[in-house]
Structure 1
Amino acid sequence: MARGGQRRSGASGTSATSKNASKTAGGKSNRTAKPAAAAKRGAGRGGGRKQPARPRDNEGVIPILARVVREVEGAVQRDQMRPSTRTKFQVVALLMREERARVKADPTLSEARRAEQLKRLDGVATILAQTAARKPALLALLTEDAAVSDAALELRRELLDAAGLEAPPAPAAPTPAETTAPSTPTAATPSSTPAPVASVPAERRVVPQAIVARKRSNPFLPPDFEIANKPRVRPRLLAGWELLEPLFRAFERGGSSACMPLPQPASLQAPGGLELMPHQARVVAAAAAGHRTFLLADEPGLGKTAQALLAAQAADAYPLLVVVPNVVKTSWAREAARWTPKRRTTVVHGNGESIDGFADVVVVNYEILDRHVGWLADLGFRGMVVDEAHFIKNKGSQRSQHVLALSQQIQARTASPLLMALTGTPLINDIEDFRAIWEFLGWIDGEKPVGELMAALEDNALTPADAAFYPAARDAVIDRGIVRRRKIDVAADIPARRVADMPVELDDDAGRSIREAERELARRLVKRYETALETRTTGTVVDGIDHELVRRVATWEREESTGAKTGENVFSMMRRIGQAKAGLAADYAAQLANNVGKVVFFAKHVDVMDAAEQTFAKRGLRFTSIRGDQTPRVREKNIDAFVNDPEVAIVVCSLSAAGVGLNLQVASNMVLAELSWTDAEQTQAIDRIHRIGQAEPVTAWRIIAAQTIDTRIAELIDSKAGLAARALDGSDEEVGSSADVQLEALVSLLTDALAGRVADLR
């Protein structure tokens, strides 16, 4: 008891701030107690000269963040990670970033007070970093494109309310019935057992009451007896051969344009008096003729949404499941009502309280799929569309596992389901980005080709040892349903587009600091290279620069930089360059808005977006924004304002949150304030305005910081643009290295530094 009493006494002496923060978070006033406590502490320290400042330490959002981050730290230390722990971690990071920006911009704070507040925020940041180091999976919650769940938005509102700050309204919490409703059994087909859905924590699963009502009205799924007649293909000539890698290499070698033969449409008419373009109608005709799997890889802006909806109608693939990024969920519902008005469409928000359980088309976003994957797997879908299918390229991610599990369930219960993967950028960095998409479509099972693809490969009577295997195998895959058309080929009426680089000189202190940091990074790489050269034990001697060793050194640097929390690296440098360019890029966007009309402004980091918005506000320009932490309602409101309000001149967009699925063709000029790491992400952003219906030539103004690593990265991004062109478009353009741009940038930096040293020696 004595030891316990001492521990309690010690805790009260060291965590008074945490106790006060807890009371504040609970919504109870602590103003009466705090002055007295502060006076007592001051008296104990001899004079109490700091007495007036102490009460403020327990006001506002910082003490609340301190309390919550300690809760997260404790849960991780006890190895008790729950979804609520992840939510708290993300919300603390979001609020800390917002509070840091507020403190820096607050003109009412003295320099001493500002430094004090920033120091306290640094303490919170340190705990976050230490916690993430213990559980690296938490780092994914800190990226710009990390999904912000409804639970996170609700917690953010609660914490801001507790701090006495305004917060946007949060979604309504689910009722107990909605979170605990049992699933009604369904009948499986007689010939196969459905694949299990990916594991989902029980506390995350929901079954909306509307779905319970649907199942009770018809508790058994009608069996599809055609499954029993599906032939099982057993390899003969190709038995024992590794086939997936040769299939990927077949696409890397290139060939003719990657588009399956498509029938001519009987009509271009669509419901409601709408008219399809010929390339759209041909996909619908293929579905009507019985084709059921499509990798629809048309360039962005060619109307893939309409093609998918009308293909589902032609194939009678209802109920239809559509999985999409959050940013385009509402847009899909609008397009479904437009193109298939006789079919009921419902959109799953949050825990699904408002869905129509008897709808023909169910639209759900990747970010909440884990909550709904259980009842979705049991609903008896006869078709599934995955929009922006490159989102599932990482098979280790939870969203990929859920999508693949749902596809397997549908294929196990339906003989010929309609499966469509939609993406304008199927290849980001590597040919193997195809793997998860092909598995979703049922062409491979993760280890080998299956079904019709395996039968086609067998019919070719070739093996990977034959040179003729590769073009024949490529054609066999394409015939399974790859459809790739370019704007230049099928939509000649869409005006041309161009990317125009705008070099800017960073001649201020920030620019000089960036260039010095780049030189320091180069010196560090050179030192590491020389150390590796001196300690090498292989005895290999290379005259001049050892390029193999250069690449290894760059790889070490990149791997260490990814998890580094301090020190200069390629990631922090690009962020600093983005910050330094922000004002210049915003100035140029403002000039465009004043001279040519509406402008789309893209940036990668939140602080760059914030700086741009401050510039536009000073210039008296009305603007709106599209960010990753917005609710669908706010996002749609902001999009509508930019598209429909002539007074709104600029929309400030996040590259990750607004780079897909949006139609912003009301503008024909775009400013790319920061570089992406891939050509695909840059292209997706440009295609928000270069779309069917665009009446003017499109220009993307890419802001490049001259005499910095920014220039190198722009060149590397452009060099990697040939990957999709060679694999899918039949281009003769050489494919660059599949290594990522960050690595190539470091290789270039080190090579140039070593070349400079050699030149100096001569």
Structure 2
Amino acid sequence: MNNTKYIIHQGQYFYIYFRYDPAIIGVIKSSFPEYKYEVARKRWKVPARFRIEVERFAYANGFIFGLPVEEEKTFDVPELPELAIDIPLKMPMYPYQKTGVAFNIAKQRTIIGDKPGLGKTVQSIATIIAGDAFPCLIICPSGLKENWKREWHKWSDKKAMILEDRIKTTFPRYWEHAMADVFIVNYESLTKYFVQQLPKRIKGEPWTVKDVVFKDKNVQLFKSVVVDESHRCKSFSTRQTKLTKGICAGKEYILLCTGTPVVNKPIDLVPQLGIINQLRIFGGYEQFIKRYCGGPNNASNLNELNCILKANCFYQRTKEEVLKDLPSKVRQIVYCNITTRKEYLEAEKNLKRYLEQFEKADDARVQRAMQAEIMVQMGVLKRISALGKLQEVFDYVDDILESGEKMVLFIHLKDVAQAVKSRYPGAVMVTGQENAEQKQHSVDSFQKDPNVKLIICSIKAAGVGITLTAASNVGFVEQSWTAADQEQCEDRCHRIGQKNSVNAIYFLGKNTIDEYIYSIINKKRNIAAKVTGNEELIEVSVIDNLINLFNQKVA
């Protein structure tokens, strides 16, 4: 190492390293109100609250922050293994997903880091089934609980259930009586279901997992744990990271899912590696910090880090790497809980009352007139759902943007567009509010500027005539009434020049009109494709089907 004088910041302290030099020792003693020499580790220790004094000392005496960076070596990254067993799933996996599952089976405690849209969920499900690691606990953000439940039922015959207050103390019995195999909980509810007592907080004194009294019966029930969006466990100082680590301890399978395992620097990996008990392969916490968090950017020996991770506990593929395995377009449903449920239910009651009058009308002309009003009231339901699901939409969009990918987000209503723009002020827009020159500028910026990650588009204003192939992720906050409109929006990205598989994501309010519309349109789309072989050219009205559905609810 060229520089043997360096300072490392860990937690509440700065640690100063240098070869014995009486002059520097004298400067330390005169520079800091508090210090201590640790004989065993041959380092000086200064509280972190003296950051300014430490920075002045470093500048004046030629110290660097972080471990001195060695010249990077090159390493051969091992290939993922082939899957040698059959796993009973309802649908086949793609070849690259199978190699991911084979790696998980071999290592058992891994970070699945595939980029968004490549199927981290199904790889987790297949791994747990292959290992017969039931019961399984899924820890995920609140907005993804319903999606995990539906994915388990979509891919397997296993019974999945979401933990809720009514079964807070009795959920283990569902496993004992073969009523559930998989249990799903959000980060914020870990204390409720798995903790007997949290440590009493003493101001300024941190607590660790060892200080928590867990509900042993509930924690020990599980053979496996899947942690979704694990990058949210970004610090050992947070409660959710500590509790997640404690619940995962000793499990046969621990799978972490995240498309952005390193949000800023290698230190982001430390809590996740701790959860899967893989810090040991790096020599422990302190050795990891010294080896991989050095240099001016707190990042060092990255080739070595990448190789060790991929050899032992981590893999990540991009769409470009697995393009040969993917279809040209994939549709994905994300179910969202809405925050406007009370308002939605009131509007739904109004619609039902109107539908009762509609059914009693025996004059065709009256029915046609009333049908227009029904469309208006259904539009109200769509608006309430759209505004109510925005927070969960934002959480999903954040993950895609943080992974470095671009996204097109389709909306319909002006106030929904404004809410999205307020959340992402750097986004560009193509809606009915911009003139032709402004729209073209937005498209050009999105296509050519790597810093413009998000474009907000109106279904009507941007559904035809523009190319947005800089993105392969298309999200729908709101839906059109027809399959053709939505196909045209998807195809803004799915055009000549697109080098990736396009992932079309439909954000549907749970138990709202969104689900009805998507279901009807999808059925009509499939019928159209079978009859004509060209589903894009078929427009199908859904109003009659929606009236029938709401009438069934009234009955």
TM bucket normalised to smaller: 0.3 to 0.5
When the two structures are superposed, what TM-score results if normalisation uses the length of structure 2? 0.38
* Structure 1 or 2: more strand by fraction: 2
* Structure 1 or 2: more helix by fraction: 1
Structure number with larger C-alpha Rg: 1
